[in-house]
Chain A
Amino acid sequence: METQPQNSENTENIKKKSIWNLSELLKWYDLGLLPINKNQDIEYYCSFLGAYEIACNFQGVAPLVHGPSGCIESFVATRPYPGNSKKFTPKCLSTDMTLKDIVYGAAGKLGEAILKTDSTLHPNLILILTNCCADIIGEDVEAIAKKVSTTVQADILNIETGGCSGKGFREGADIVFKALFDHVASRTTLPAKGTDPSVNIFTKRLSGRPAEVNEVNELSRLLNKGGIKTNTVIRLGTEYEDLLAIPRGHANISLCYLFGDEPMKYLNTLFNQPYIATTFPIGLKATLEWLGKIQAAVGMEQKDLRDDPEVDRYQKKIDAARQKYEGREAFIWMPGEKGLAMARFAVELGMKPCLFTMSYLAVEELQETLKLLIKDGYDFKTILTGKHEFLKEYQDMDPAERPILFMPRKFWTGDLPTATINCFADSILGLKGIDYLLDSIDNAVKTAGKKDYGLFNRYVEDRYHAKKWDLDGPVVSQVRN
């Protein structure tokens, strides 16, 4: 167990730094020793918003929120993105609860809203989501939905998703998927699968990213190369009919394992569809493994692509990069599964990765992915506290020799060579993604120690203005200061 920082002479740093391997963190998690505070952790964001993000994805499905409209208007799912494949912007539908509704209830408003949604938008399905207010005052949504169901054309589903339920956004998303899959099951009979193997691709919870179109195209291309067709893609703008087509796929795959794990398991139960337990295909090795696992899942003989000219070309690029970066430390400052997948790519380049964005709760949330990685031999080092002090230890090194920092935007004000990789906008999956990643790393090293003239590569944080407040008395009365 690595419990001490590298620079053990500096007692100040000993107090501030903690560096562990993933397997150690997992073991402590199993023993219940990690001080997880779910309610305070951003990894446990609002269940309503997680649910709403998924509910907003489908054309023909109207997500009607029973609660104040404020919960949806400031919300990113209601924004169109340039990468939105269908140019689809979800409608923000809500019953716009006010204080009066809190006092007297808003059953009538909800009934009217359902009727209006049906008559004006003509959806196939109305998905009623509740937020905190409706949940707290105990609105009987089911009774209202049942009452109006005979007079509307659309099917109605209602789900309790209030943020104060404390379930977290991932569970919120899972709940909506489960309801939608049940609906699909009720609307379709299990079809005979075609002879050509095909898969359903689930993108990410927050769909419609600028990079998404390119990434889905790239992965579909690679699947096709491996003899697999794409049955349907579940993302922002997916049409209702495509949702109903899910049972026709031979297997399910998700770009993000954590996002897809629960929905994939449920689809397996409903439609007997296998799913692929693997995370983002970043890098050559991961992409080939990803494809191989999918081929196995759909019952195909795994086609060896190592002789494929394109794969050969990328192997040469990886080998060349390995020559340059073998043994170099890679600091991965990218959250969630993308960070883990990036660390795996760093290993492919012969680098020594260290994760900078793990938290106690992330260990719990990402535990299945961590187990997969550890099983494959990727027991990454991870730093939990003392990150800035750790980075400062490299100030005296030759800039070109310093560790390479991987982060979405260079907010670190030190001088480590930084590969800026923004998963929101940069397409990094599959084979084509390798080009972008290698370019970013090469550029980081090439410009190391030089003034960075790129306007958008780096910004300076101005948040730290330590001020001492002179107080007469304790900070909190009746509580020891």
Chain B
Amino acid sequence: MSIKTLKPAKSRGKKSSQDKLKIETPRLTSVTKKVTKPKGVELCNPYSRCSLYGCGLVAAEVFDPDFCVHGPQGCISAVMEAFMAQGKELEFHHSGMGQFDIIYGGEKTLLANVTEAFSPYEKAGPKYVFTSCASEIIGDDVDSVCNHFNKGLPLVKVASGGVKGDQYHGINETLQGLMTKFVNHSVEKQPKMVNLIGCIGLNRHWRGDVYELVRLLNSLGVEVNRVACDSTLENLKIVGKASLTIVLAPEVGEETAQYLEKEFNIPYVLSPLFLPLGLRGVEIWLNEVGKVLSIPQEMIERLVDKEEERVRDALKVALIHKVYTEKLERLKRLPVAIIAEGSVAFSWARFVTEELGMKPVFIGLRTGENSDALLRNLSEWQKESSLSPIISFQPTVEEVKSALLETKARFIMGSSIEADLGAELGIGNFLHICNPNTHYVNINNSPFLGYTGLLNATESILNTLQN
């Protein structure tokens, strides 16, 4: 089986780098059973979070932050959940808007609140001001309030609020706010330095993924600046030094990468196969990065060979073990359902098909309905694999449940929502690959991406297999 490698990603405009590629590829082909969503109001979408949740996911990742939500008290719950999901302690304020503020405007309340927080401000990280539905609807001029404050203070204003969008909107807006405020323009470019924007808060392995990819890039002599991953303000200030921005998933950070390209002339890459997951996924990702940074191909090949050898060596160790053999046998053509963000779901579908021999029967894509790159990848993958799973964009929980029943899936990869569905339907094999997460604690930063992640992912899949 082969999957065509698309050209290196390098964009100039607002659209995704891959969307720009002028390769004539079919849209979803007839083999795909694309589920058309019924029209009408959706009552229940537990995949969606408030924009403020996304803001919190990013805010939590820059050391010693503080935030103030300009809205009623309850709005902080979304940001608090994000800090908990990221495993970070939080410090917060809110303007506590009430009816008076709704009628007469809440700018004075906000000014008083932020002034108090800054008198003095003793945190080492940014102070975020997030707007909410209420302050956005009544049109409070939060920018003018923020303009009162000394420019030397790390104040970052982010337009958020549930009516403005979901968690991805919040993530991207906050990243954008950080870049606008902190990135230093007068820095010298470093030819072998990159900014890496991980899948911030999309799953419980994302931080481990970033560290694993840093390890691989360091092996190629590339210095990596982690953006919003255990970062400090220093990480943000030096963003302009980088010669490349690496985005792992288009849902998180592509808009920021486009901003950096426009303002700082830093190109960016997004791998054609999206996540560096599995042998092929990592190899293609490394090649993409290598091309832009002019890293000798032989150097990349050496790293790939060395790491692949490590992976294959680890995988062969237990081959004679009965349990291992039985599990591998069980894995073959095992019907699997994958539900995640568009790029994430595709990456896992490709990996489990091509590298583990499983058989995706249902792919639920929570994002990416309008992404040409995703549609093209799916189409290519279907052609190459001769599989025709049900593919559903933005499925509801009920639709996922129906698809699980219809396809007789025996393994589920998804979030805690699908874990619950699996328990309800008696499908015991489950791998948690995306949030929300209401089942697992996350203490070790173990990755699923990169070569170490490949071993972790494979081990997790095999160990979860039941009779």
Contacts and interface: CB of A to CB of B under 8 A. Distances in A.
B356 to A, nearest CB: 31
Contacts of B80: 74
A112 B40 contact: yes
Contacts of A89: 420
A479 B109 CA distance: 14
Interface in A13-49: 38-40, 42, 44-49
Contact of A69 (B99, B134, B137, B162): B162
B121 A92 contact: no
A384 interface: no
- Size range of the interface on A? 35 or more
Residue with the greatest number of chain B CB neighbours at <10 A, chosen from A48, A109, A471? A471
A365 to B, nearest CB: 14
A137 to B, nearest CB: 7
Contacts of A74: 49-50, 52-53, 77-78, 80-82
Nearest to A93: B43
Interface in A149-188: 162-166, 169
A80 B438 contact: yes
Contacts of B99: 164-166
B124 A465 contact: yes
Contact of A102 (B50, B137, B166, B438): B137
Contacts of A475: 115, 118-121, 149-150, 153
Interface in A448-462: 461-462
B98 interface: yes
Contact of B48 (A70, A166, A468, A473): A70
B426 interface: no
A64 interface: yes
B42 interface: yes
B299 interface: no
Contacts of A348: none
A75 interface: yes
B101 interface: yes
Nearest to B72: A163
A462 B230 CA distance: 14
Contacts, number: 200
B279 interface: no
Nearest to A120: B43
A477 B154 CA distance: 16
B324 to A, nearest CB: 32
Interface residues of B, number: 65
B183 interface: no
A47 B42 CA distance: 25
A465 B40 CA distance: 51
Contact of A39 (B50, B73, B148, B154): B73
B72 A166 contact: yes
A479 B74 contact: no
B91 A163 contact: no
Nearest to B166: A70
B96 interface: yes
Given A39-B95, A73-B49, A476-B118, A45 B73 contact: yes
A467 to B, nearest CB: 4
A165 B72 CA distance: 9
Nearest to B56: A74
Interface string B304-337: 0000000000000000000000000000000000
Given A70-B53, A73-B46, 14 more contacts: A46-B75, A48-B74, A70-B48, A70-B78, A75-B77, A79-B438, A89-B420, A98-B163, A99-B163, A112-B41, A132-B134, A467-B64, A472-B152, A473-B152
Interface of B: 40-46, 48-53, 64, 71-75, 77-78, 80-82, 89, 91, 94-102, 109, 111, 113, 115, 118-124, 132-134, 137-138, 148-150, 152-154, 161-164, 166, 398, 420, 438
20 contacts: A40-B113, A42-B73, A48-B72, A67-B133, A96-B45, A96-B48, A113-B43, A116-B43, A120-B43, A164-B71, A164-B98, A164-B102, A165-B99, A166-B100, A467-B64, A468-B122, A469-B120, A475-B119, A475-B150, A476-B148
